[in-house]
Amino acid sequence: SSEVLEAIENVVQGVFQSLAQKKAPVLTLANRTDWRNIEFKDSVGLQMIPGSTTKRIRSDCPQSARRFALMLKILSMIYKMVQSNTYATKRDIYYSDTLLFGSQSAVDQIINDISCMLKIPRRSLHVLSTTKGFVAGNLCYTEEDGTKVNCTCSATAVTVPSNIQGIKNLTSHAKFILIVEKDATFQRLLDDDFFSKVSPCIMITGRGVPDLNTRLLVRKLWDSFQIPIFTLMDADPHGVEIMCVYKYGSVSMSFEAHHLTVPSVKWLGLLPSDLERLNICRDALIPFTKQDENKLASILKRPYIASQPLWKKELEIMATSKLKAEIQALTSLSSDFLSRVYLPNKLQFGGWL
């Protein structure tokens, strides 16, 4: 915490020095959205390069003066929380003055900017993000306050903890981890008791694009157990994008890649090649939109696709057919095809990439 306080004090001191010299204060941070600042490493994923291009948030420029003021406001709130050892969610910060902040997304962006500027992970700033992910299956752990959590015996999923750093005593007999893109598919597998039928496993869903806590949990489970991690996504560009976030990280959070990415993640399904192999009827497939085409073209250009020739092949099948499918398309074969046939066969015969 002393490191965090010192980092904030240095920023404020810089502001005072500028004012003393009758100069307009400026905050400088690495540009988090510029691909030129990113390098791809197989072992880490997308990470920010040292000496990245920076952006300057000026106090004397109409376009950025408000952002400058909001950054100082949130820095002061973080300073007080670290000093008093209290925590707040991003939501709490927004609701402390909705008129001032204007929107939740403005608060989220500023907190990520501050984390990047100070080079300090967000959870060390005492800011928690609201969790939306679920976990179920063969896993027990103790939360920071001493609460023991057993995901095995629960018929419903457990919410991903909001302080992943604080969980300890993780135990599991799971043979693998299954990341499921969508909540509906996750609930279906839960109803079918999938995680105990095939072999003990841990199931996780970020319910779409994963939040920070879900990604931190996947990473923590990988560090703790070193067991295979598979993803079950829709066969569409959006599903591929989500899988890449778990595996390689995102451009905007590349400054924290070492804590968030799990490059060993494997693509289990739904593969575009499965649609033909299983003879899924065309009525269950959905034609591409212009947005899908653009998203797929952008993914194909990314540096990590060059290191995954088998993935590239699947994406090219999708690009040629201009058709996508949700995991639910498998119910056109039978209502429990996913848990009874598709997943057990894939896991038994190594049908992942």
Tokens of 127: 């800011």
Vertex 95 angle, CA 89 and 96, to 5° = 95
- Annotated catalytic residue within 95, 141, 246, 342: 95
Where does the chain show beta strands of DSSP type E? 26-30, 38-41, 45-48, 54-58, 88-89, 127-128, 134-137, 140-142, 148-150, 158-159, 168-171, 176-180, 201-205, 229-232, 266-269, 286-287, 323-324
Question: What are residue 134's DSSP bridge partners?
Answer: 159, 205
Task: Kindly provide the b/e burial profile for residues 306-345, where b requires at least 16 CB atoms within 10 angstroms of the residue's own CB.
Answer: eebeebeebbebbbebebbbbbebbebbeeeebbeebbee
Question: What are residue 26's DSSP bridge partners?
Answer: 58
94 given a catalytic annotation: no
Parallel, antiparallel or unpaired: strands 286-287 and 323-324: antiparallel
Please give the torsion angle defined by the CA atoms of residues 87, 121, 213 and 307, in that order, rounded to the nearest 10 degrees: 170
Vertex 52 angle, CA 223 and 240, to 5° = 50
The C-alpha atoms of residue 53 and residue 66 are separated, in whole angstroms, by 22
**Active site residue ranges:** 95
